Structure formats: C-alpha cells, structure tokens
Structure 1
Amino acid sequence: MNFSLMPSSLLAPAQLLTGGTRRAHTPASLVGDTPVLWVGEPFTDTGRGFWAKLEGHNPGGIKDRTALFMVERARERGDLLPGARIVESTSGTLGLGLALAGIVFGHPVTVVTDPGMEPLVSGLLAAYGADVQTVREPHPVGGWQQARRDRVGELLSVYPDAWCPDQYHNPDNVTAYAGLARELVAQLGRIDALVVSVGTGGHSAGVASVLRGYFPDLKVVGVDTTGSTIFGQEAAPRLMRGLGSSIYPRNVDYTLFDEVHWVAAGEAVWSARALARSRYASGGWSVGAVALVARHLATALPAEARIVAVFPDGPHRYAGTVFDDTWCRERQLLGCEPAAAPDQIAHPGERTVARWTKCETVLDPAPAAQPAGAGAVTLAGAAR
C-alpha cells in the first residue's frame, strides 16, 4: 500500500504559513507568546485539570523575559553604559537570559554560580560567550545565594563600569512579567486561580499583580521548597534550585498570596516524572513542585474553576538530575509519592516542615523589611 503525506495539489507559499510560523530578525523576538497546555488525567483526577503555561518554549526559559527587560531599562536610564559588563548571581535560568541579552544589546556577561549548576547549563553559558565563575563555599548564614552575591560585589569593584541587575531586589524584575500575564488573559479569557513558584519573587509578583487587575477574586498560590526562608521557615540545606531562597528577596509581594505550599525534593521529582510520562511536558524542580500543587487545587476547587500553573522551564537541563535514576537514588529521591493532600500548619513558624505542607497565613518574615529596590542600590550602585 502506497501512502504519502503530500497533498493532492500544492499550496501557495502564503498558504503554507497560515496559522503559523514566526520569523525573527533578532533572538529577542523568540521570547514570549509561549503556549498553554491542558494537563488532565491521568496526572489529575478524572474530569479535573489545569492549564500549564510552558515557559520552556522561550530560548532559555522564563527568565529570558526579565533579563531582556532589566537590561533594556538599565540602558535607558544610563545605569548600564554601552559595552559595559553585566555581572549577576544565578542558579542557571537567569544566566541563560542574560547571555541572550548580552548578545542582543552588545554586553559581555559574567555569571556567578555554585557547584549545583548543571553541566549542561554551564556548557551552554560558555557556548553563548558568558564568563562563568563558581563559588566553592556557602556563606555561613546566607548559603550559596549570599556567597554568590558576595562574589558579585567583588567583581563589581574589579570592573568599574560593570552593572548588576540584582534580580532579587530589582523592581524591573517584577514589571518584566506583565506581558506573560496579558498572554494568559488572551489565551484563556478567564482565570480563577494561579499557581506560581517563588524564588526571587519576580514572576510571581509580576504575573499575579496584573491578573488581579483583571480578576479581583483570583486565588494566588505560592510554591516554595522545604528549607527556604522566603515564607518564614528556618533556613536548611536545599537541593532544589530555581525556587526558594536563603535570603529575603524584596521582590516577593506577600500581600498577593492566599496560601503558600512547601514541597520536598523527592515529591517534586515524583511529580515531574509523572507529568513527563502522562503529558510529554515537564521540567525540573519548580515545574514538579508547581504541578503537584496545581493538581491538588484542581481537585479541591470546583470543577469549573480555571486554574493556571506557570512552568518556568522544560526538562532538558534536568536529564542528569531529576530524571536520572542513579543521581536520584543516591539522594534518596525515588519512591517519594506525595500524599493525596498536603499537611497544613496555621502559621509559618508553627514548626519546620519536611514534606508537602500548606499554610494560609502568609507573612513577610524579613527581620527588618527594606523598601523594594534597596538591595539593588547595594550592588548595582557599587558598579558606578
């Protein structure tokens, strides 16, 4: 039997592109307009599900959006001079975004990371021309993040004209995600609940604040990792990257959240793998944790509720960690199927949590809350 995929008559060239393909004259044009995917059974209960915003379809992930935006605004203000070096701390995704921004706007880029960065990401950063520097010891109080930030401060004194975006405290990191929120409104029309991971606080605050303008009753659910200090837990060693923090990022807008969930590393691994097997769409730590919480929300809320989960990246960089049996087995991360529902505490300081747990009391735990942007002056100001 002969079978051909060729149509019986050839289409005109313009017809071939109908519905179609973007052409880009600059790599920055490839960022945004990411798809949404329905995630239903068997990952969720029958008749339940949520929409996933697949930010892994950006060239480097969700932080391509903020890297381009922060760099462009700094250039407009004169904080970043033509050809000056960009220096920043990153666990990976922002580094890829800054490498992109450096190519687009003509700036050398130095990223400071720690030994937890995946070889795939450090290799890509080098391929894109970025200088990758790795700190070797965590800060005794602020962990790897503070150690990286201390090294950034040292580099800013070495390069007098250098500029640091300071993603943890730069309000441009929040404003950058307004476009993502508007895409969701255009794609889905109505949104009843938003599930977002929280690290620097940029995309959670940026997306949620804009969506609340359209949907005042929007339920916003933050997803953190066990061992993170962001929502008032005690600092502890953290395996998960991309969400959580050992410092207090001032971009986190605590007033936006209705509840927060902490997820353990093994639970995120189980979720990311189950999601990959059932929907051919997955990611790493943040995606696994967010998907687990969104799955629960799809059961807890009325069936007609429209839930959106933001997936910050895709699975590729995690082939040697989250999706590697040997790596996970050595860290006792296999077989950690989560409970049907989270534990619950009444206050973040009630006890230290070690498994999936939720809390409906959301408070700013910083010992002395600084105004948003104060930290940006500390680092970025030192560059000039």
Structure 2
Amino acid sequence: MHRGISARRGEDSSVTLEIGANWAGNLAYRSVRIEEPATVAEVQDLIAGATSVRPLGTRHSFNAIADSAELLISTARLTAPPVIDAGRRTVTVGAGIRYGDLATQLQKAGWALANLASLPHISVGGAIATGTHGSGNNVGSLASAVAGLELVTATGTVLQLQRGDADFDGAVVSLGAFGVVTSVTLDIEETFTIEQSVYELLPWASLEAHFDRITGAAYSVSLFTTWRNPDVFDQVWLKRRPDQDAAAPADLFGAIPATGERHPLPGISAVNCTPQLGVAGAWLDRLAHFKLAFTPSNGDELQSEFLVPRAHAVAALAAVRSLADRISPLLQVCEVRTMKADSLWLSPASETDAVGIHFTWLPRQAEVEALLPEIEAALAPFNARPHWGKLFTPDAALLDRLFPRLADFQALAARLDPERTFVNTFLASTVLPER
C-alpha cells in the first residue's frame, strides 16, 4: 500500500495547509495530503479522482513548482534498483532514486554517468524535470542523458517515451506538467577517474580575456566568487579526466593552486566537500562538490540561477559584476558553470551552449526577491533563462520569448492533461497560463 503523510491539525481540528516544507525551509506546501507510493499501480490509484496533483522529489526546489492545492505524490519510494543494459549503454532506474545512490551502484558494476550536479542528494526525476546540471563545456545537463522515461498521466495511462519519439524532447524537462514520472532510462559509460584541483584568486581581467580557455581547462570547471572584491574570482575548481585532459597547470591565468582543501564558501570547513589537491579518485567521488554521506548545509540558504547563451557569457558576467555592491550583502557565493546545448524544449540549454550564473543567497527572502528584478533586468539583453527550481520573477510573456518551443510544450500539456490536473499556481504564472 502507498504510504500517506497526515496533515497536522490545529486546536480547532481544521486541517492546516502546512504539512511539509521544502529542503531550505523557505516554502511550506499548501497540500492537504502527501503520499508516498511504491509502485506504478499505487500512483495510478492516487491520481484517480484527484483534481490537483503534483509530483514531489527530494524537495530541493526553492519556489512553488512542486506545490499543489490538493495532493502531492512523493517519489521517495519509487526507487526500483538499476537495470543496466550494457549493449545499449543505458541504465533504467526508479525516478525517486538519488543520484548519489545510483552512482554508487553503477560504480560497483563498472559504469558511470557523464556528469553530476553539485549535490548528489537530489532525485533523478526531480533533477531532470527542472533542467538541473553539472558543469563542462562538452557535457550536457543531467536531462540530456535521458534516453527514455515512463510516466503516469492524469487519466492513469502509463506512457513510455524514448529518445527520438515525437513528444520526447518536450517531456523530459517537463516541470511535472504531464504526470508523475515513475522510471527513467539514462545513458551511461565505462567508469572513469577524476582529479580535482582548486585554484584561487583568478583576476577578473583574465576571466574576461580567457573565459573559454579557463572553462575548457578540464572536463568539468566551476568558478566561485562572493563579488565582495569584483576584481577577482575567489576559486576555480578543475575536475580533470586524466584520460582526456592535459595535466593540471601550475598557474591558471593568474590563479594559483590552493594549498589545502577548500569549501566554496569562504571560512567554511571543507570536510563535507569532495576530495581535492589533485588526488585521483572515481568519478562519483569528485564530480559533485559535496559528499553524499554529509548534508552540505543546514538549508539556511536561498538559490537563484540564470543561464545565458555561451556567446554572451562574459558580457553577462560583467553586467552582474556591475551590481556587485547590491548583490554581495545578500550573497553567500556565486557559481559559474557551463554546459553543452541540447534539444529539450524547456531546457535552459535548449539549442544553445549555455553558461549558468548561480546565486546562493542568505535566507533573507524578501530582500532577495526585491533584488531579483534588478539582476533580471541586467541580464535581459543576454536572453537569460531561469533555472526552473530556483527563485525568479514569473513572467509568462518573457518566457514565451525565451523558449521557442514553449507553444509546442503547451500543446503537449493540453493533450496529455486537458483538465489541467497537474497545473498549479506556479505553472499557471509561467508556462501554462489560462487561455
């Protein structure tokens, strides 16, 4: 049987709407029920008769994308063990499995994923639905590795889609608009080794002049800054594949190797971070920034991210830099990452190589939300797309311009969910407004 999570009740015995919260604690879900089915049949049973449903992953979204007026269906127990197809070089898993858990099982079998996000704690289904990514000039977002998926629609139909199917590119970065994804098939490759090195104090002038060479210096590269000193980027993390990349440089365009392990946030112990100092290790122990065995923070943060076409990267970063004095008092750290273009309709990297400018904020939501329009205005000339699971200003007209396939996405939603069972307030204000 599926597992239900009861709503808390107040002194007057009326059901309160705060029966759960997201990981950061900045959002209380309005739903009166959260259920945790373990099988496809249980998902079908829950959807039957419901008028407002949303899928819920590991709760790492900072906005109301996963909220519902009635029912949340958690994928936490949809964790069917990996089924590896060595001939096709794919693995099929339950949508609720966390990337770190999947990675551990793949490594034991001699296989790997091409990339991981900074946190291995997020679920496969939730990450791909929101366009979450790692970093690497020649590596796509996590969603780009999807070769197939299974979902239960609002009618209870089990829909199977494979790469190449007519609706596939619209259904991967789905924002949960078409149903509950129950399993996912991902591309895999043979296991590989990563060496991670951190460099410090990269001059802004070097970033301006050599952005492509810096982000291409390793298989995966992340840059961090607090913007407190706009003339430098505080850290550059190089994640090298010895079988593909040149040796780690002694000097990275003026940035120097760190003398010890570093946390992305200044002054924080690196004990929870993945190993550095160029020590070789398996891909799953280096591609993420944080270890699976540890909680990387207490959730006392907010996040935003805007992704621009790679051609605009330096100009977009200069625009953010011009707001350094406004940003830095609210900021914990800003991270810059790259990714290869894909063909997924609502992917932030759809049809363009992209650069993500990510903000980890202090938990001061009113002030952050007041500042976001300034950042969005500064990035508007560069066609900046939001990360779907972070804080941004909803603007349906703007999103219609930023995503050329949005009309196709809307048509697919109308066909798969004509009664708008999976449309919540967030979707109605962004990609699926009432017509």
**TM-score, normalised with respect to structure 2:** 0.25
Does 1 or 2 have the higher relative contact order (CA < 8 Å, sep 6+)?
1
**TM-score, normalised with respect to structure 1:** 0.27
Structure with a larger share of its residues in helix = 1
Structure with a larger share of its residues in strand = 2
